[in-house]
Structure 1
Amino acid sequence: RNFTYNETKRDIREQNRISLFLAKKSIKVNRKKLCDQCNY
């Protein structure tokens, strides 16, 4: 099935949202790890 232009755009936006969310999550995790190391 062919994607319409709008569907493709929406798909890309959704992908960006997800990867942004994951990036923020991993930044938080990394920051926490750094803080844990600082406490030693």
Structure 2
Amino acid sequence: IDKVPKVMSPVLVIHGTEDDVINISHGLAIYERCPRPVEPLWVE
């Protein structure tokens, strides 16, 4: 996650809201650190 701010291309985060393995907070953290984020897609 510390490398995300160095990604200069647009980033699309897609994450399931009911994911039991990786909490959605991880997807949100990546999205918030992107310098050029695309609107995230939260899948229910």
> Of the two structures, which has the highest relative contact order with CA contacts closer than 8 Å and spacing of 6 or more?
2
TM class by shorter-chain length? 0.3 to 0.5
Of structures 1 and 2, the larger Rg is shown by 1
Q: Which has the higher strand share?
A: 2
TM-score normalised according to structure 2 size: 0.30
